[in-house]
Amino acid sequence: MPRSEVVAGSENEQDEVLDLSILELQSRIQNFLGEYLSERSRETVGTYRRSLNEFERWFVKRSVHCRFRSSDIEAYKKYLMFEKGLHEVSVSTYLTAVRRLCQYLVDVGLLGENPARSVKGNRRPTSHSRKALTRTEVEVLLGSLPDETEIDLRDRAMIYLMLYGGMSEIEIVRADMQDLDQTLLGWYLRVQGKGHTAKDQQVPIDLPVINAIRLYLDARQRIRPEDPLFVSHGHRSDGQRLNTRSVRSRINHHLTVAGVKRPGISPHSLTHTAALIWLNDGMSVEDVRRRMRHGTLDTTMIYFKQQGSLSSSE
């Protein structure tokens, strides 16, 4: 059974510690994932699972037994930074998982307070590692897109959704026909964003985007409301929902053919470019935040500081 006790801290403070065997830790992690994250998406739970796998490995190999003190969590952070050599964003992700696990241990009464709360993650980056396309590159990309086959029209519609709708690969993959909705205010697409368990967000679909989608849908036959919005048109997989790997592969293909593929440019760069297009066209930061479905204004401000890069030739 796990055992809690209070010991003297290094600065004459009283620190509560928790002794767990590796089997007890694994059991607590399973309960945390199943109970504490029960309303989170499968992708979010998977991210926590992978992050806590590393914590388990460190827990086993650590020469000084982890007893869930602040000093233990700090030691884990140093392990991630210096032994594993992880990027600062990854370190923050791993620490967030441990911080939430510790809060779970507090909530179930095994710890009096969260020892990871005082261990801060690395500073959030002030710029994106992925670059955005310039206006010239956007024009070149769109001008290079063929429109002869179903695949051509599908890829064109997906690119328009990313460039002018700010949609991500996973949102495109999850989209169904019945998620498209026309109101008095225009067209919308209901989406299930990253970390969400339901399609509870709406993406405004501007006229150029809905026109690209219509051209693609007109080329398809026998479409039902429950069908995926974007499907494969291969011989063996015709009609099946695309996966993110296929979307990424197709977008990379068009970036390469257009000659705009360069270091830092990836399919997700199209989504980044959407925010810069809106900002450069005069949309307010708050409106861009809503359209990009950012949780905080801080994320949108990263784009605001980069908005001049849309006209750059670099």
User: For 63-74, what is each residue's pLDDT tens digit?
Assistant: 778 889 999 999
pLDDT, residue 313, reads 41
Is the pLDDT score of 311 beyond 70? no
pLDDT of amino acid 93: 86
Determine the Cα–Cα distance for residues 15 and 98; give it in Å rounded to an integer: 18
pLDDT band at 132 (very low <50, low <70, confident <90, very high): confident
In a shared domain, residues 99 and 143: no
Regarding whether 194 and 262 lie in a shared domain, the answer is: yes
pLDDT at 32: 92
pTM of the shown model: 0.60
Both 65 and 180 in one domain: the answer is no
Residues 100 and 155 in one domain: no
- CB distance 154 to 233 below 8 Å: yes
- What does the alpha-carbon distance between residue 283 and residue 68 come to, in Å, rounded to a whole number? 47
Q: Which of 29-38, 254-263, 290-299 has the lowest mean pLDDT?
A: 290-299
The better pLDDT of the pair 300, 63 is held by 63
Note whether 88 and 187 are same-domain residues: no
CATH number at residue 41: 1.10.150
Higher pLDDT, 181 or 281: 181
Using the predicted structure, report yes or no on whether residue 8 has a pLDDT greater than 60. Answer: no
As given in the structure block, the two tokens for residue 217 are 């849908």
CATH number of domain containing 208: 1.10.443.10
Q: In this structure, are residues 101 and 32 in contact, taking their beta carbons and an 8 Å threshold?
A: yes
**Greater confidence, 39 or 27?**
27
In a domain, 126, yes or no: no
Residues 140 and 85 in one domain: no
For the chain, what is the mean pLDDT?
84
Q: Which domain holds residue 157?
A: 135-311
Instruction: Give a yes or no: residue 130 inside a domain.
Output: no
| One domain for residues 64 and 165 | no
The torsion region of residue 195 among left (phi > 0), alpha (psi -120 to 50) and beta comes to left
Is the pLDDT at 303 greater than 60? The verdict is no
For residue 130, is pLDDT > 60?
no
Q: How many CB atoms lie within 10 A of CB 238?
A: 10
141 occurs within a structural domain: yes
Last residue of a domain, one of 61, 88, 107: 107
Query: Is residue 127 one of the residues assigned to a domain?
Result: no
Q: What is the rounded average pLDDT of the residues 41-47?
A: 82
Residue 213 lies in a domain: yes
**Rounded Cα–Cα distance for residues 190 and 200 (Å):** 7
Q: Does one domain contain both 162 and 99?
A: no
More confident residue, 287 or 108: 108
Looking only at the bridges linking them, the beta strands covering 3-8 and 180-183 are unpaired
Is residue 128 situated within a structural domain?
Answer: no
Provide the token pair at 59. Answer: 């827990």
Same domain membership, residue 164 and residue 75: no
Lowest mean pLDDT across 120-124, 170-174, 238-242:
120-124
Rounded to whole angstroms, the Cα distance separating 20 from 22 reads 6
pLDDT score of 172: 93
Query: Considering its fold, how many domains does the chain have in total?
Result: 2
For residue range 85-115, list pLDDT tens digits in order. 877 778 888 999 999 999 999 999 999 899 9
Angle CA 262–266–270, to nearest 5: 110
Q: Is residue 66 part of a domain?
A: yes
% of the chain surpassing 70 pLDDT:
83
Q: Last residue of a domain, which of 58, 87, 107?
A: 107
Residue 125 resides in a domain: no
Whether residues 98 and 148 fall in one domain: no
Domain end among 107, 126, 146: 107
Are 86 and 176 members of one domain?
no
pLDDT (0 to 100) of residue 77: 92
Residues 240 and 166 in one domain: yes
Residue 195 pLDDT exceeds 90: no
Question: What's the longest Cα–Cα distance across the chain?
Answer: 75
Average pLDDT over residues 27-45: 86
